[in-house]
Amino acid sequence: MFHAELSQDDRSPLSIRILSIEEYPLHYHADIELIFVLSGQIRLLQGSNDYRLNAGDIFVCNGKEVHGLYGKIDENVVALVRVNNRIFSNYYPNLTRSCYRTNTADPEDERLSFLRREMIGLLLNYGENLRHHEQINVAVMKKILGYLEANFNYFTIRDGVVRSEAIENSQTAKRISRIILRMYESYFQKLTLDELSRTEELSSFYLSHLIREHTGLSFREFLAFARVESAQLLLLDESVELNDLYEMVGFSAKRYFDDHFLQWFGMLPEEYRHQNIPKVKSGEHPECCTEIAKAALLDLLRGYDTHRQSEDPTLASGKAVVNISVDHKKSRSIPFQPQLTLSVDPQDRKAPDILQRLKRFEHIQLREASPERCAPRWGLDTIAGAVYWLKKAREGSLQLPISDPAEETDVLQGQNGLIFRNGIPKCSYYAMLFLSNARGRMIDSSVNHWIIKKDAPGGIPSYVILIYNGGEVVDALCDESQTPEQVTDAIAAYREEMNMKLSLTGPAGAYKIALINIDSSTDYFHYLHRYGKQSSADPVEQLLAEQYTAPYVNIYNADSTGVLDIYTRLDGICAQMISVTPLSL
């Protein structure tokens, strides 16, 4: 039997190994694995393809995909990050059906730049052995998987090589992703183009054209490719009879199976089995790899220009960097005391979860009042609402209801409350929480950031930095009456990025830096539109929603010799709070 390789700890959300590889024989696992080459070069055999991966390359192996890794010991370092599908399926229910492909023809593909940054952050947390790094890395991986789902869950085949090619139209990308998943799920059945066209509500002619344009193959060719790829796993299992195998993967006759297998693998199925069963990982044929120490891992990561403390702050995106330098002694400052009043009605007083969330605010005023219903402005229920209220805070005091009106049964109402009626916080709740905890003296600001200094005992200051992106588009989303679909599309279409380098001059020493980020991936509006409006009374659904909407948090330590450099990046409509605190406090 050809068994799946098991993780070192099946209860852990992530399994991370840092290796120098001579040979990691053919194997497969039920979970997704991200392969990140940190230095040198390796050879990756995956499916019918033979890849050469160089430093900086990231490859995703989906569940039940046979692959092997080969190189020269001490001439490469590779991070293998195994994702526990059972745990992360709580966030992404279709994870076990994924077809992620990240190898592109363009090594400068900006989609890969995002993955590299997030993977480096994840490995830094692991290497530095930060307190609670496992919990932090769950949030990081949640973000990575969301990005893979949106940008890499489809692929094309050019000149016999499986590659990822970006599809600009998001609706087309989703359609191609659905079609590919359907063919991989139904490869052993008699699936027809007419059946698929009815499901997609398109003509067979147009769907056929769409499939060829975006996958590089016709419908029949792609279905045959999915079948022979699925046969690879069975061929390496000696308990499966060769004469039965062609029917198991959906071919009507063995000669068709042989022809298509020969086309993609360059040999007949019998030859493949004979040549490759001895290459399968087993007790007699173990891996030949060397474990790399965490100290060596950190040295490698610090050499990447995507490192949060890099000397080259371009962050591999090609975008301009906003440089902000502040000397806490020389900078002029003014008091920063946001005036925030929250309205609380009798229904709120009876809701323990709302009262608990209310207690987290500092320096606010409360007033007894019921929220007034206005015409729906759906942007207020999204990440756009968070940026909108931060912008409004610049104009003066804010007065907002803590929750939406109680008389409606719908969770999404397009109202200006900070919490939905089912107790799930909006992104704007966290934005106002950021604001209420940022009192001090403002030493720098622009149209999209504030830097607040908080004096501390001993004269060593701490800082709170508030940043947001997308301010130029949120007014239309939150002031105008648009449909929920229009709001969703507008948020997805806004792809402006901002790279920022903050240089804080102050006392030398060690500092704790905490970055808290909210964006559409932590947006309950996005969650409901993606996974359906299920009953909010279901305790499991409530737990999932609370986990999904929690801000992304990254905490690390940094040493300063007098100037503390912090790099951050904002993608799309989002907001961040960065807390900088001396470790001596």
| 283 and 414 assigned to the same domain | no
Provide DSSP, 111-170: HHHHHHHHHHHHHHHHHTT-TTHHHHHHHHHHHHHHHHHHHSS--EEETTEEE----SSH
Query: How far is the C-alpha of 569 from the C-alpha of 517, rounded, in Å?
Result: 10
Note whether residue 177 is domain-resident. yes
CB 34 within 8 A of CB 81: yes
- Whole-angstrom CA distances from 358 to 269, 364, 365, 524, 547 are 65, 10, 11, 19, 19
In this structure, what token pair is assigned to residue 192?
């027809």
- Give the model's pLDDT for residue 305: 44
For residue 283, which of 480, 581, 5, 478 has the smallest C-alpha distance?
5
**3-state SS string for 361-378:** CCCCEEEECCCCCCCCCH
| 188 and 266 assigned to the same domain | yes
Q: Which residues, in sequence order, are bridge partners of residue 50? A: 45
Note whether residue 308 is domain-resident. no
Note whether residue 148 is domain-resident. yes
Residue 296 burial (CB < 10 Å; 0-12/13-18/19+)?
A: middle
Helices 484-493 and 471-479 cross at an angle (nearest 10°) of 180
| 365 and 216 assigned to the same domain | no
Specify the CATH number for the domain of residue 557.
2.60.40.1500
Element (DSSP H or E) covering residue 497: strand 497-505
| 275 and 210 assigned to the same domain | yes
Signed CA dihedral, 98, 102, 103, 109: sign only? positive
CB 550 within 8 A of CB 503: no
| 283 and 329 assigned to the same domain | no
For residue 196, which of 187, 183, 209 has the smallest C-alpha distance?
183
Spell out a b/e string for 441-455, using b for 16 or more CB atoms within 10 Å of the CB, else e. bbbbeeebbbbbbbe
Specify the CATH number for the domain of residue 39.
1.10.10.60
In this structure, what token pair is assigned to residue 121?
């952050």
Note whether residue 297 is domain-resident. no
| 89 and 206 assigned to the same domain | yes
| 266 and 405 assigned to the same domain | no
| 556 and 500 assigned to the same domain | yes
Q: Where a domain ends, among 266, 288, 310?
A: 288
| 422 and 480 assigned to the same domain | yes
Query: How far is the C-alpha of 340 from the C-alpha of 338, rounded, in Å?
Result: 6
In this structure, what token pair is assigned to residue 537?
């009374």
Query: How far is the C-alpha of 188 from the C-alpha of 469, rounded, in Å?
Result: 47
Q: Where a domain ends, among 288, 303, 335?
A: 288
Q: Which residues, in sequence order, are bridge partners of residue 509? A: 560
Query: How far is the C-alpha of 94 from the C-alpha of 342, rounded, in Å?
Result: 39
Residue 262 burial (CB < 10 Å; 0-12/13-18/19+)?
A: middle
343 three-state secondary structure: strand
Helices (H), 241-345: 242-248, 254-265, 269-276, 294-301
Query: How far is the C-alpha of 486 from the C-alpha of 173, rounded, in Å?
Result: 18
The label of the residue with tokens 């609380």 reads 344
Element (DSSP H or E) covering residue 107: none
Note whether residue 296 is domain-resident. no
For 389, half-sphere exposure in the C-beta direction (CA atoms, 13 angstrom radius) is: 30
CB 53 within 8 A of CB 41: yes
Note whether residue 329 is domain-resident. yes
| 241 and 329 assigned to the same domain | no
Count: domains in the chain: 2
| 276 and 371 assigned to the same domain | no
Is the pTM higher than 0.85? The answer reads: no
Give 280's DSSP letter.
B
Note whether residue 67 is domain-resident. yes
- Whole-angstrom CA distances from 548 to 139, 142, 392, 539 are 9, 9, 26, 14
Query: How far is the C-alpha of 510 from the C-alpha of 273, rounded, in Å?
Result: 58
Query: How far is the C-alpha of 189 from the C-alpha of 211, rounded, in Å?
Result: 19
- Give the model's pLDDT for residue 35: 97
Mean pLDDT for the chain? 86
| 176 and 246 assigned to the same domain | yes
Note whether residue 346 is domain-resident. yes
- Give the model's pLDDT for residue 113: 86
- Give the model's pLDDT for residue 391: 93
In this structure, what token pair is assigned to residue 118?
């997030």
- Give the model's pLDDT for residue 536: 57
Kindly give the pairing relationship between strand 552-560 and strand 76-83.
unpaired
pLDDT in tens, the chain (585 residues): 676 776 656 678 899 999 999 999 999 998 999 999 999 999 999 989 999 999 999 999 998 899 999 999 999 999 999 999 888 887 787 888 888 988 887 777 788 888 998 999 899 989 987 655 777 788 889 889 988 988 888 888 888 888 888 887 888 888 998 898 888 888 888 889 999 999 899 899 999 999 999 999 999 999 999 999 999 999 999 999 999 899 999 998 999 999 999 999 999 999 999 999 999 999 999 999 999 999 999 988 877 644 333 333 333 344 456 788 888 777 778 888 889 999 998 888 888 888 889 989 988 899 988 888 889 999 999 999 999 999 999 888 899 999 998 776 788 899 999 999 888 999 999 999 999 988 899 999 998 999 999 876 667 889 999 999 998 899 999 998 889 989 988 998 887 878 788 889 888 888 999 999 999 888 899 888 776 655 556 777 888 888 888 898 888 888 888 888 888 878 889 999 999 999 865
Kindly give the pairing relationship between strand 58-61 and strand 49-54.
unpaired
- Determine the structural domain holding residue 536 and report its residue range: 321-582
